[in-house]
Homo-oligomer: A and B are copies of this chain.
Amino acid sequence: MSEILDLAGIFVFALTGALMGVRKRLDVVGMAVLAEMTALGGGVVRDLILNVRPAAFVSLGYVLVPLAATVIVAFWHPHVARVMPAIMVLDAAGLGLFSAVGTEKALDYGLNPLHAVLLGVTTAVGGGMLRDMLAGEIPTLLYDRQLYAVPAMAGSAAMAGLYVTDLHGWPATLAAALLAFGLRIAAMRYGWRAPLARGVRPSE
């Protein structure tokens, strides 16, 4: 069950990577590299910090799913781009899931709650940051003021809170993921924005 959810999150993240490749007019190899990096980057960094072999290098699906996403985008990207609003919803689901699962894994490996939250957020947003950097752009996360890291942080904090009160298992993980997902959707729906430093005018 958790494996399937994981692969679903990887698939959606890979779609955003491959679509970025199309937008930048990369060839299919470049699209595949971006898809793999976006989908697997956050988890690889998490596992390197936890000092375990990255999950992406243990399970076959982790490598194959981004390739499938690349093929789909290469052939049907106008259709994929047309369903972009739906993809953004799925991306929010991936964000929620990865922040909850990443935090839980960090807690399982003995990190204290604050560090586990930091690592959970890294898992959720790391791949997207890598994707943007590879594509020659400042990571969207840093400047676009839409709340993206903050919902991940809320989900991670909820996961850590449930964990330290001994509420483990998939219902806790799902609840934390849903919180992050809901906040991300609400942030998009209502245009919630992160503040700028005092006195800084927005660039638009």
Task: Using CB atoms and an 8 Å cutoff, list the residues of chain A in contact with chain B.
Answer: 21-22, 24-31, 33-34, 36, 44, 48-54, 56-58, 60, 63-64, 73-78, 111-112, 114-115, 118-119, 129, 133-139, 141-145, 147-150, 193-203
Contact = CB atoms under 8 A, between A and B. Distances in A.
A81 to B, nearest CB: 11
A203 B26 CA distance: 9
A37 B139 CA distance: 13
Given A28-B196, A48-B49, A138-B135, A57 B115 contact: yes
A35 to B, nearest CB: 11
Q: Could you say how many copies of this chain the assembly holds?
A: 3
Contacts of A200: 22, 25, 77
Given A26-B142, A141-B33, A195-B27, A114 B63 contact: yes
Given A49-B44, A57-B111, A27 B119 contact: no
A200 B19 CA distance: 12
A57 to B, nearest CB: 5
Given A27-B144, A27-B196, 17 more contacts: A21-B197, A24-B143, A27-B143, A29-B148, A30-B141, A30-B194, A33-B141, A51-B51, A63-B118, A74-B197, A74-B198, A75-B197, A77-B200, A78-B199, A133-B134, A134-B142, A135-B142
